[in-house]
Every structure is written in structure tokens, then in C-alpha cells.
Chain A
């Protein structure tokens, strides 16, 4: 074991093909114990495939995964006792009430203190006496979250955890994730929305086209932001003067107005602009959502991620 002992998840060249169709390819990823890691990528990038490989629902074409130091297939029973899993496509077996269903999950995992369940249900404002089948998507999602968190698992694997939750409940969920981290639990959560991951995650892994595009600490995400800048000058300017600046691209000039996008620091652009008479500067708030993701999704092999489908 050695180095891997303080890793909650380790994948080595993990590859899954469905016949000819690519699931994920040569994915090598480490999630430290006690870490909250966001797993980001557009739909169809391979997030769910990766998660299903970690849970032994799927078997890798090549490469391997180690979860909590165990082999997902050989040690499935022992491993799943320590995992809380929220499926991305949530469907519940049976027609019971939420209470009966959660009692089943509790019994199956060797007994869970019921106060733990009621505590979570209260937190999420969930009525346990109603049949799960009749619930709205949001309430079903809450049932899914309760069953994932209820046995205080060492590792939470959450596939699109906030889908269907209203903003208030999303905040509550993020608080639950922070509590889990404070209690020493590891959280591996997938999303196609950066903002929700950004609020809680320590690191973010970005997957594109079945391959790992980047792993970043969340603090460094902001620095990569691309912003749109519009500068109004007194007199017309030469676009060539700005196009050569580091980090500046998509320069267009119409008369005295210059528009461009800037990646990273604004300093070079501002210094260059200061050589002219500046009337006004408009910089749109960096939308991490679009800018950061598009940076990774489209920088290499531009655009194919969006075409990969589900």
C-alpha cells in the first residue's frame, strides 16, 4: 500500500470502452483522504462512467482503481459499507415511504442510528412519511442525499448532487459537505456546474472527452479567469498594438472603442492603454462558469466535448 494509504481514491490509467464507444481513457487521478474534490466536465465527458467504475458497477477495459485502499471488485462488500453513493440518475426500488426505504438502507448497511436519518431529513426539510414514488424531483434528491450521508461513510461519491434542489437546499447541501469534511470524510462530487463545486471543493478535476484535462486547486481558478474588456479612447487606436500583449486575444476595434478578452492579469493591457487618452474602461465580471470551463473544454481539440453527447 505505502503511498496509497492516505488516498481515498486512486485511479491508474483507468480506461473504459463500451464496445467502440469511448467511456474514459487513461484516467489517472488521486483524491486524498479527507479532501473534497469536485469532478467537473460537460455531459458525456465520462464523469458517471468513472464513478460507476469506482463502485464496481462497471469493469474497466484496462487500468485499475483503488478505493479506500481496497479493490472495488474483490472487496465490494467491505468497501460499500464505507461509501455513501448518490446516483446521477436517481431511481428508487419499490413503492415504499421514504421512512421504510431509508430503514432498508440502514439495515442493509448493518444498522444506522435513526436519529441520524431524522436529523438529515430535518435539515433538508424532507417529509419521511410520504411514498418516494409520489415525490417531486427535488424531494427524491433529498431522499438520495439522506441515504448517502446517513451512515457517515468514509467516502461520499455524489453524482450531480444538487440537481433538482432549490437554491436554499443547495446551500444546505453545501453545508452538509463542509460538515462531512470537518468530520474527516472524503467527498468526491461530480458536477457540470463550477459554482457549486467552487464553494466547497479543495480541488477540482476536469474531465473532457473521457480524459483528465486538469486538476487545479480551487483558489487558483480565479486567476485563470478570462474577462471581456471594453476600452473607450479619445481617438481611434491600432488593434495590432493590443493584439500582441500577453493574455490578450479577440481584439476588435471600431473607431475609438476597443474590445478584447483577457486571460489572467489585466496589467499588460492597462499599461498599454495608458499610453492613450482613456475615456472609459468596462470589464465584465469574470464568469467562471463559462470562461474557465471553455478554457479547458475548447483549448485543445476545440468543441468536440460539446459534441460528445450523453
Chain B
């Protein structure tokens, strides 16, 4: 049986998790299920937008099936939704109860500080993984059905990359919340980090002099490897997971050392 605190965390987050999962699912289904109808519009977009803009948005070509999928699901809105979900759910693990006052009764459970932090993170992490896996699960069904000519292995690589990206930012958000106990700090630090690293990848892609910048961006490890065309890149994916894991671990240790609810 799962620890009581994990079940409690899921029960409290239930509505939010289902909401995010439904939102991400709707977004995925709408964009992909009408692949053929959108093709015309994609052509228009491709012609209407200047090349620099397309590069910035990470859209190489919107006409090939892989290019279309990358442009619609994986370049901007998909990661945006998944990361917003990851950050807000992670902010609920420690920062929110600490600010709202529910923390004392949660922390009064017979668990060590580290076990408490670990169980909160595990529960939120599982919920976030579920939401981040929605595009993966749906695309494995939809892609063959609508006749997109992309190897399913490549779709899986991109979908798993989205989960790895979510884990990376979950770790960072958890660190911010575990160390500060402030929801504003979690949202600010993680949000600013997401935006700047997204920009870093975009800038790196547009200018040769700034090419190195991409190594600093989680988004590069996620989608810069072009998994929809080139398949699996385990080193890059494991890098994302490692960054998230190290950040989370540091978060657990910092939570173990500080005063709570002051």
C-alpha cells in the first residue's frame, strides 16, 4: 500500500491534475486529429511568417509530418502547458501549505523531514509525469490513424523528451520551494528560468556566434536534437533527468536543514 501522505497529496491535487491532463489532451487531439485540414493553414503560416520568426519558434518546416508535429505540439504550447502544470503542482508540495498554514499538521506526521519531502515530491512527480505523458500516449494512437508518416519510435522519443523536460523543471521548482517555502519564489525562479532558457535555445539557433548557448538550455536537450527526424538521444534525455534529480535532491537536503513555517 502506498504511504498515506502520497495518497493524501494525490487526493488534494486530484482536480488540478485532471484539469491539466484534460487540457493537454484536448490541445494534442485538436492539433493532430485534423492534420489534413490544417495542412492548408500550415502552408499559409509557413508563407506568412518570416523565416526568422519560424526559427525563433523552433519551426523548421510545417509541411512535413514531423515538422508539423514539432511545430504544433512540441515547440511552444505543449511544453508551455506541461511546464505550467509541473511548476504549479510542485509549488503545492511544500511552499503552498507552508504559506497557507496546513503545513504543521502535514509535518506532524511520523515521518522524518527527508521522508516527508521525498513523499511529497514523489506524489507530485507522478502526477506531473501523468500529465506530461498525455501527448506521448495520444500521439502513439493518433499519428498512425491520421496518416502522419513518422516512425512511432521517433514520436516516442519526442514524447519521452517532454516528460524528461517536465522532470527537469519539476526538480528546479521543488528546490526553490523546499529551500524558500514561498510560492512566489517557486513561480518566479522557475518561470524566469523557463523563459530565459527557451530564449537561449532560440537565439542559439539563429546566430552562429551564440551557438554554444544551446548547451545551457533544457529545451535544446529536449527538442534541439530533432527526435522526430532522428529518434532517440539517450544522453540528452538523461542529462535533463539528472539535472532535475540533482536539484530535487538538493531541495530535500535544504528542507531538512531549515526552519519550517516561520
Chain A contact residues, CB within 8 Å of chain B:
18, 52, 55-59, 73, 76-81, 83, 85, 87, 89-96, 100, 104-105, 107-110, 147
Which of B20-28, B108-116, B240-248 lies at the interface with chain A? Answer: B108-116
Interface check B261, CB cutoff 8 A: yes
Cα–Cα distance between A52 and B260 once the two chains are bound (Å) = 9
Name the contact of B4 in the complex, choosing from A58, A80, A108 (C-beta under 8 A). Answer: A108
Q: A91-B100, A91-B102, A93-B12 are in contact. Are A55 and B262 (CB under 8 A)?
A: no
CB closest chain-A residue, reference B8: A104
Tell me if A83 and B108 are in contact (CB < 8 A): yes
Interface membership of B11, Cβ < 8 A: yes
Asked if A77 and B108 make an inter-chain contact with CB atoms under 8 angstroms apart, the answer reads no
Contacts of B40 in A (CB 8 A): none
Give the complex CA separation of A156 and B153 in angstroms.
58
Given A87-B104, A87-B105: A94 touches B8 (CB 8 Å cut-off): yes
Interface size class of B (residues with CB under 8 A): 20 to 34
- Which 7 residue pairs of A and B lie closest in terms of their CB atoms, listed nearest first? A91-B101, A93-B102, A107-B4, A81-B110, A108-B4, A94-B12, A80-B110
How does the 8 Å CB contact mask read for B231-262 relative to A, with 1 for contact and 0 for none? 00000000000000000000000000111111
Minimum CB–CB distance from B203 to chain A (whole Å) comes to 41
**Which residues from chain B contact A92 at a C-beta distance below 8 Å?**
102, 105
Q: Which residues of A contact B103 (CB under 8 A)?
A: 93
Are the CB atoms of B11 and A110 closer together than 8 Å?
no
Residues of chain B lying within 8 A (CB to CB) of residue A89: 101, 104
Asked if B102 contacts A94 (CB within 8 A), the reply is yes
Closest B-chain residue to A85, C-beta based?
Answer: B108
Partner of B262, one of A18, A77, A93, A105: A18
B105 x A80 contact (CB < 8 A):
no
Pull 6 A–B residue pairs with CB atoms less than 8 Å apart, ordered by A: A55-B108, A57-B261, A59-B259, A77-B115, A87-B105, A108-B110
Nearest CB of chain A from residue B57's CB, rounded to whole Å: 39
Cβ of B199 under 8 Å from chain A:
no
Give the A-B contact count at a CB cut-off of 8 A.
Answer: 82
Bound-state Cα–Cα, A147 to B108, Å: 11
Bound complex: CA A59 to CA B259 (Å): 6
Cβ contact within 8 Å between A104 and B259: no
Tell me whether B104 and A96 are in contact (CB under 8 A): no
Q: How far is the CB of B201 from chain A (nearest CB, A)?
A: 38
A65 to chain B, nearest CB (A): 14
In the bound complex, how far is the Cα of B262 from the Cα of A107, in angstroms? 28
A33 to B132, CA, bound (A): 52
Cβ contact within 8 Å between A78 and B4: no
Within 8 Å of chain A (Cβ to Cβ): is B29? Answer: no
Contacts of A85 in B (CB 8 A): 104-105, 108
Contact B260 A108 (CB under 8 A): no
Determine the distance from Cα of A80 to Cα of B12 in the docked complex, in whole angstroms.
23
Decide if B109 touches A109 in the complex (CB within 8 Å): yes
Q: In the complex, which residues of chain A have a beta carbon less than 8 angstroms from the beta carbon of B100?
A: 91
B8 touches A80 (CB 8 A): no
Question: Which among B102, B108, B112 has the greatest number of chain A C-beta atoms within 10 A?
Answer: B108
CB-CB under 8 A from A110, the residues of chain B are 110
Considering only CB atoms, which chain A residue lies closest to B96 in the complex?
A93
New contact pairs (9) apart from A80-B110, A100-B11, CB-CB < 8 Å: A73-B113, A76-B111, A76-B113, A77-B110, A80-B108, A83-B108, A92-B105, A104-B4, A110-B110
Chain B residues near A81: list those with CB within 8 A: 110
Cβ-defined partner of A93 (8 Å) among B4, B106, B261: B106
